[in-house]
Structure 1
Amino acid sequence: MTTPTLPTTGELRVDGATLHYEVRGRGPLLLLIPGGTGGAAAFDAVADELATTHTVATYDPRGMSRSTLDDPEAEQRVAEHADDAFRLLELLSPDAPARVFGASSGGIVALHLLTARPERVERVVVHEPPVVEVLPDAAVHRALLARVQATFRSEGLLPAMAEFAAGLAKDGGTAAPRAEVELPPQAAARAERTMADLPFFVRRIVPGFMSYAPDLERLAALSDRLVFACGQDSRGELPYRPAALLAERFGCELRHFPGGHTGLTTHPVEFGALLHQAVRD
């Protein structure tokens, strides 16, 4: 097992925000874009292994954790988050294109980054990006987002999260119970920060990101740089479906990683090994 190392940390001023970022290792740049409320810490369990062959950069997306917004009430847009990622590439790898991994909402950012700045990206791996607008039943999921927001306003965070979780489950039903998984210590330790960021995620990220419609024609032209990945336990669930559909549409391989949508958290060692392989292939 790779010995943990302390990353070099920094701050990057971007339009409307200040980003906290962390860097480890040497080699070609690999930018890891977290999903949900994970932030840079979501990759703590895999970053050192990836840093044996790459310069690994992680960061807290704007509005999350240590990345502060000038205006805390600002609407969040995928294009703006993708520009943040581009600014990090310009800072950390100005002379060479980078490799990028995005999980969940971070996968949406990675897809937009590829279509907007293809000259800066040589390979993109996305794990279950919930681009539900590509699905034939997209209208059903627009209604889900409206219900989540209405529930958040009228009843608060936890009922809204329950509504959201039910909508992500197979066939939009009640989420099936999963086998109990003991979280690694690093994941358990960041639970407090994750909970603190949940209101911002539900109110700002979920509606802005899950209504995003990718440029499919542009993605098709760049699909030789794309790797789609899904959780082995996610089959039939909403976040799985867009990646599976796009992989089939573009003729790309669909890779399966351990666990479900949060396999990076529940199975970090196995997930990290497959990610390492995916970005190096």
Structure 2
Amino acid sequence: MTTVHSLPVPGARLHYEVRGAGPLLILVGAPMDSGPFTPLAEALADAYTVVTTDPRGISRSTVDDPDRDATPEQRADDLRRIVTSFGEESADVFGSSGGAVTGLVLAARSPQYVRTLVAHEPPLLTLLPDARERLAEVEEVRRTFLAEGQGAAWAKFLAAAGTPGPGPGPDQAPPPPPSPEQEANGAFMLGHMLRGITHHRPSLEALRTGGTRIVPAAGGTSSGQTAHRAAAALAENLGCGLTVFPGGHAGFAEHPAAFAGLLRDVLVRAPA
């Protein structure tokens, strides 16, 4: 059974969903909302109380001022508030992409709330040897969005990430136009989330010493892509290995059963 909840927080109202019973496990993305995490959540609900959530400003998590940026620090505080709303002292967290950055901020600032963080392909461009070039690409994506709109901006975003989207084949119809919600989510991401996520400088010393078990992770089919490289750089900086999960950047949605099996193993594995 899935229950739906709404939590007021400073500047926003968070939408989150709960499945299962057991230790608290939160699956979080940014800008991805809770929808694509549903198959993974259902695969884990036999052993965990699984929470999925829309980040502030995305889909059903509304913000008081849609013209203000939403920062990783705000989303980390939102995550903390979700944990404490259960009356729990801590949770395990699986964060993907910007959601992994959210988890890293919470683990650095308030490690007592996160037992294990699996940080799957956080796009921490500041850790890359070519950080200046990659951050300049982000600024170009944002300028393109402001000048030309989402279509041109997303094309540049995907090219910079190393994951250019496939076009329709010769016998295929073009994809349907985005829904109003997708349009709004895309605009909020490009205008108010992208820079904060990609420009974040993680507090490496706090992550090393804070007490949260950090598991950097990446997709088995995303090698060479920017977020995979950033995950590997995080692992190197923390002095630990990189855990490889099935699929690519969104492997949890592509292969939920296999992904859930490995995630279970990672969460119960004793630290080395």
Shared fold (TM-score, shorter chain, > 0.5)? yes
Q: CA deviation at 1:175?
A: 3.8
CA distance 1:123–1:248, shift in 2 (3 Å): same
1:80-112 CA-to-partner distances (Å, cap 9, x unmatched) read 1100000001111x3432101100000000000
Q: Kindly indicate whether the alpha-carbon contact (under 8 Å) linking 1:223 and 1:250 is maintained by their aligned counterparts in 2.
A: no
Picking from 161, 182, 186, the partner of 1:168 is 161
Secondary structure of 1:62 counterpart: coil
Structure 2 match to 1:236: 224
Structure 1 match to 2:23: 28
Q: CA deviation at 1:196?
A: 4.3
Once residues 224 and 102 of structure 1 are traced to their aligned partners in structure 2, the CA distance between those partners, rounded to angstroms, is 14
Q: CA deviation at 1:133?
A: 0.8
Q: Kindly indicate whether the alpha-carbon contact (under 8 Å) linking 2:115 and 2:212 is maintained by their aligned counterparts in 1.
A: no
Gaps of 5+ in 2: 170-174
TM-score, normalised by the number of residues in structure 2:
0.89
Structure 1 match to 2:109: 116
Once residues 216 and 246 of structure 1 are traced to their aligned partners in structure 2, the CA distance between those partners, rounded to angstroms, is 9
Give matches, 1:127-166, under 5 Å.
127-166=120-159
Secondary structure of 2:226 counterpart: coil
Residue 209 in structure 1 maps to residue 197 in structure 2: yes
How many percent of aligned residue pairs carry the same amino acid? 40
Structure 2 match to 1:59: 53
Picking from 83, 90, 106, the partner of 2:77 is 83
TM-score, normalised by the number of residues in structure 1:
0.87
Picking from 204, 211, 219, the partner of 2:207 is 219
Residue 247 in structure 1 maps to residue 235 in structure 2: yes
Q: CA deviation at 1:195?
A: 4.8
Q: Kindly indicate whether the alpha-carbon contact (under 8 Å) linking 2:40 and 2:253 is maintained by their aligned counterparts in 1.
A: no
Give matches, 1:4-19, under 5 Å.
5=1, 7-19=2-14
Q: Kindly indicate whether the alpha-carbon contact (under 8 Å) linking 1:26 and 1:52 is maintained by their aligned counterparts in 2.
A: yes
Moved over 3 A (4+): 174-178, 191-196
Once residues 67 and 7 of structure 2 are traced to their aligned partners in structure 1, the CA distance between those partners, rounded to angstroms, is 20
One-letter identity of the residue aligned with 2:107 = L
Gaps of 5+ in 1: 181-187
Secondary structure of 1:212 counterpart: coil
CA distance 1:176–1:12, shift in 2 (3 Å): closer
Secondary structure of 1:79 counterpart: helix
Q: CA deviation at 1:240?
A: 0.6
Q: CA RMSD in A?
A: 2.1
Structure 2 match to 1:71: 65
Secondary structure of 1:229 counterpart: strand
Structure 1 match to 2:97: 104
Q: CA deviation at 1:22?
A: 0.8
Secondary structure of 1:71 counterpart: coil
